[in-house]
Amino acid sequence: MLAPTTQNKPGTAIALKLMAVFLFMVMAAMIKEATQTVPAGQAVFFRSFFAMPIILAWIWHRGDLREALIPVNLAGHIWRGLFGTTAMALTFAGLGLLPLPEVTAIGYATPMFTVILAAVMLGETVRLFRISAVALGLVGVMIVIWPRLSVDADMLGTAGTIGALCVLGASILRAFVQIHIRTLVKTEHTAAIVFYFSLTATLLSLLSLPFGWVIPSTFNIALLIGAGLVGGVAQILVTSSYRFGGASMLAPFDYSSLIFAAIIGYFVFAEVPTLNMVAGATLVVLGGILIIWRERQLGMDRRKARQVTDPKG
């Protein structure tokens, strides 16, 4: 499904990436609205199940159906699905409790945690420049979530605190996914990684069925099905963008999601970004861009890992 870069068309690549990021934000807004009454696990099911037909059609169109359906490392796909599905559920739970721009900003912590885990689990050398960039980004995350934290025991159970911890936990789990994918792509076709994640996420989400699934309203059903379809299209656009431009060039455009999140949050949910969120997000984005720049300087190509990453659930 996901081929290496075959043409150097940066304009096309950037346009596809920006459209994908925008659609992921639209999907997040749909999930945010639906999870006011629908449990996060149920939302994961709809998002994963209704994305599969689109993904399968795209894989078939690309001529990669055989590679997608026959994995080499099935256990690896299951572990990737377990981490990724849990991260998606935590993100969806956070979306129901926090403003959309805040969830987006906290989610930017994933590259920071990935650098840390790469050093610990893969033995990668991390020098002062990247350590400083990680520290800068983590300070930004703390600034964003600090208003949600309180030493007052009565405040620890508030929705905002729980939401912030859910999204932060999702960011850490997505970093584990990134590390795992770096190993998985050595034996697995990227089409298989994309397909089996959707499949395992659909099946694993059913485990939450005994914990309070509801019969959604017609409006919420439309939102949930729409989220799955939009998410599937966004995944295709992301993977297509890498056919026309390199990963290091496209990676910074992930941060455009904060602009889209702020616009959608303001006009759809009447959410106004706070000073803490803007200041913290600025530091997180700066840290992330410095990490991307340094990896490019060192020739650390993460193309395959980024192509099969699920950046927004």
Residue pLDDT, tens place only, 218-271: 999 999 999 999 999 998 998 888 888 877 778 888 999 999 999 999 999 999
Distances (CA, A) of 229 to 23, 27, 48, 135: 10, 9, 9, 37
Residue 256 phi/psi, 5-degree rounding, is: -65, -15
DSSP codes of every residue in 82-145: HHHHHHHHHHHHHHTTS-HHHHHHHHTTHHHHHHHHHHHHS-----HHHHHHHHHHHHHHHHHH
Residue linked to tokens 């960039």: 133
| 84 within 8 A of 20, measured Cβ to Cβ | no
CA–CA separation, 168 and 153 (whole Å): 20
CA–CA separation, 86 and 78 (whole Å): 12
CA–CA separation, 284 and 75 (whole Å): 34
Say what the pLDDT of residue 153 is. 47
Residue pLDDT, tens place only, 263-297: 999 999 999 988 999 999 999 999 998 888 877 77
Percent of the chain scoring above 90 in pLDDT: 59
Inform me whether the pLDDT recorded for 72 exceeds 50: yes
CA–CA separation, 262 and 76 (whole Å): 36
User: Higher pLDDT residue, 4 or 47?
Assistant: 47
Say what the pLDDT of residue 298 is. 64
Query: Which parts of the chain fold into alpha helices (H)?
Result: 10-34, 40-49, 52-62, 65-69, 74-95, 100-107, 110-121, 128-145, 159-184, 190-205, 218-241, 247-250, 256-269, 275-297, 303-307
Q: Read off the pLDDT of each residue in 45-55 and give the average, rounded to a whole number.
A: 96
CA–CA separation, 113 and 125 (whole Å): 15
Inform me whether the pLDDT recorded for 175 exceeds 80: yes
| 285 within 8 A of 144, measured Cβ to Cβ | no
**List of residues 6+ apart from 150 with CB closer than 8 A:** 156, 158, 161
- Worst-scoring range by mean pLDDT, 5-9, 146-150, 291-295? 5-9
**Summary mean pLDDT of the chain:** 88
Say what the pLDDT of residue 309 is. 57
Q: What is the DSSP letter of 254?
A: G
- 259, with CB counted inside 10 A (0-12, 13-18, 19+), is middle
Q: Read off the pLDDT of each residue in 91-97 and give the average, rounded to a whole number.
A: 96
CA–CA separation, 238 and 16 (whole Å): 7
